[in-house]
Amino acid sequence: MEWIKLIGIFIILLGFLFKLDTIAVVVFAAFATALVSGIPIMDFLEAFGQAFVENRLVTIFLLTLPMIGLSERFGLRQQAVILIRKIKGMTPGKFLTLYMAIREIAGLLGIRISGHPQFVRPIVNPMTQAAATKYGDISDKDKEELKARAAANENYANFYGQNTFVAASGVLLIAGTLRDLNYDVSEASIVQYSLIVAVIALVLAAISNMLYDRKLAKKYGITKDGDLNNDTDN
């Protein structure tokens, strides 16, 4: 009856299948596995608590969520929008390219910028939408595409820029794994090639953003001077 100890896996599969609360499913699966394995409840709770304490740093990001919510409530989003509207000639594509460049430079310096919930949603996306006001009242579809582009540029910068810092965990992991496989590599060489890839990603993203700006300008009748062409409405 040793197979009964695999009941935890079965519970997790059912939980994910019926889209139940992930944390509750995992905890219940662990508890069920401990019961069928003959582990005393107090021993299970002790091991569970010890694992939580040892990995408590993983949950620190939860503390940033209330802070971001308060910042939004007291005008963070509005001030970001006002700043972008003051910059003459700023377009969604230019802003996203600039953000991606800043994001990659931050990665190069080992500075971690929080991702989608803490930074893109409350700051980057509103600033992108504000830059699009030069096109007038854009459609809901285009607004959703701008949201997607803001998220995509964040992903590009994070993915291709995270290994440009010599002490990044990914760089250390790659170097250590390759050395174990008898490859003569150094962290600096990994960063060197990562930088090349990051620059290529930035250039491709900049081209894509520029083409998207041209698409919006053509769709909403923006002239070379940056003014709306009223003839397109007739």
Digit-coded pLDDT (tens) for 187-207 = 999 999 999 999 999 999 999
Whether 14 shows a pLDDT value over 80: the answer reads yes
What confidence tier does 233 reach under pLDDT thresholds 50, 70, 90?
Answer: very low
- Measured CA to CA, the distance from residue 202 to residue 191 in angstroms comes to 16
Q: CA 159, CA 153: separation in Å to the nearest integer?
A: 10
Q: What is the pLDDT confidence band of residue 170, given thresholds at 50, 70 and 90? A: confident
Q: Are 94 and 149 in contact (CB under 8 A)?
A: no
Q: How confident is the model at residue 93 (pLDDT cuts 50, 70, 90)?
A: very high
Helix (H) or strand (E) holding 26: helix 22-36
CA dihedral 209, 214, 219, 223 (to 10 degrees): 140
Please state, in angstroms and as integers, the Cα–Cα distance from residue 75 to each residue in 69, 70, 126, following that order.
Answer: 10, 9, 12
What mean pLDDT is predicted for residues 110-122?
77
Q: Write out pLDDT tens, residues 33-65.
A: 989 888 898 888 888 788 776 666 555 555 555
Dist CA 82 CA 167 (whole Å): 37
* Lowest mean per-residue pLDDT among 63-77, 107-121, 198-212: 63-77
Q: Judge whether 122 and 77 are in contact, CB under 8 Å.
A: yes
Q: Is the pLDDT of residue 234 over 50?
A: no
- The Cβ-side half-sphere exposure at 222, using a 13 Å CA radius, reads 19
Give the other-Cβ count within 10 Å of 135's Cβ.
19
Amino acid at 224: K
Least confident range of 117-121, 136-140, 215-219: 117-121
- Cα separation of 28 and 22, whole Å? 10
Whether residue 116 contacts residue 154, with contact meaning beta carbons closer than 8 Å, is answered with yes
Cα gap 161→174, rounded to integer Å: 15
pLDDT higher than threshold 70 for residue 73: no
Q: Where are the domains of the chain?
A: 2-54, 75-228
Average pLDDT value over all residues in the chain: 83
Give the rounded distance of the alpha carbon of 196 from its chain centre: 21
pTM of the model: 0.65
Q: Name the most confidently modeled range: 43-57, 112-126, 176-190.
A: 176-190
Q: Look at the chain and count its residues.
A: 234
pLDDT at residue 57 in the model: 55
Is 60 exceeded by the pLDDT of residue 9? yes
